[in-house]
A and B are shown apart, each in its own frame.
Chain A
Amino acid sequence: NAGVMQNPRHLVRRRGQEARLRCSPMKGHSHVYWYRQLPEEGLKFMVYLQKENIIDESGMPKERFSAEFPKEGPSILRIQQVVRGDSAAYFCASSPTPQGRYFGPGTRLTVT
């Protein structure tokens, strides 16, 4: 059973471009969570999704950020018009229940 997969692992974007981060949960997991981690800091919750539904997006910035988990395919975290402050590691986690968390390897986003 493959673990949580994220791609790309590293992403470089210029200010103003769009960043698309993908997450494929573990097989059988219907709960997906996105977290952001700044250097030397903890994990900040962004959004919790189930298939085709956003359950909680209270950690998402109101502008430029969006997330989806379609019926088919991976979950996508989209950041429009990226700024330097968006540079961080973005981790996706999946779970068969709302309790546990299995984290993916993360996408390290660098905005130049």
Chain B
Amino acid sequence: GQQVMQIPQYQHVQEGEDFTTYCNSSTTLSNIQWYKQRPGGHPVFLIQLVKSGEVKKQKRLTFQFGEAKKNSSLHITATQTTDVGTYFCAGLEATDSWGKLQFGAGTQVVVTP
């Protein structure tokens, strides 16, 4: 079955630094979604990428979908303490009929001032 892997599992970042988290799927995806979950909170939808090679930006966040539609990345520039949380990618398999999202295990981000 489809597997979605995320690396790194943990990311300690100094405030102001940049970092990237990566997501890889074992199968081709029709789209990929990113979510953020604050400690003690619930996942909040950030963005959806659909096209091969697509790049989308949300302020300091840059999301990219690979050419083969099997991987994705999230790059955060000038990290702030508000960026603390766990970032999940979730892939929708290309052959899936109804939209069964497969979540990665997440990248837990800790920001030190």
Contacts and interface: CB of A to CB of B under 8 A. Distances in A.
A binds B: yes
Interface of A: 33, 35, 40-45, 48, 55-56, 91, 93, 97-106
Interface in B67-113: 88, 90, 92, 98-106, 108
A106 B42 contact: yes
29 contacts: A33-B101, A35-B103, A40-B108, A41-B105, A41-B106, A42-B106, A43-B88, A43-B103, A45-B100, A45-B102, A45-B103, A55-B98, A56-B98, A93-B43, A97-B99, A98-B98, A99-B48, A99-B99, A100-B33, A100-B48, A101-B35, A101-B90, A101-B101, A102-B45, A103-B35, A103-B42, A103-B43, A103-B45, A105-B41
Interface of B: 31, 33, 35, 41-45, 48, 88, 90, 92, 98-106, 108
- Top 7 A-B residue pairs of the complex, sorted by shortest distance between their CB atoms: A98-B99, A42-B105, A43-B103, A103-B42, A42-B103, A103-B43, A98-B98
- Name the residue in A45, A98, A101, A104 with the highest tally of chain B Cβ atoms < 10 Å from its Cβ: A101
Contacts of A97: 99
A55 B50 CA distance: 24
Given A42-B103, A43-B88, A101-B33, A91 B98 contact: no
A48 B92 CA distance: 14
A55 B98 CA distance: 9
Contacts of B99: 97-99
Contacts of A44: 103
A65 to B, nearest CB: 18
B105 A48 contact: no
Nearest to B1: A58
- Name the residue in B44, B48, B98, B101 with the highest tally of chain A Cβ atoms < 10 Å from its Cβ: B101
Contacts of A99: 31, 48, 92, 99
A2 B88 CA distance: 24
B92 A56 contact: no
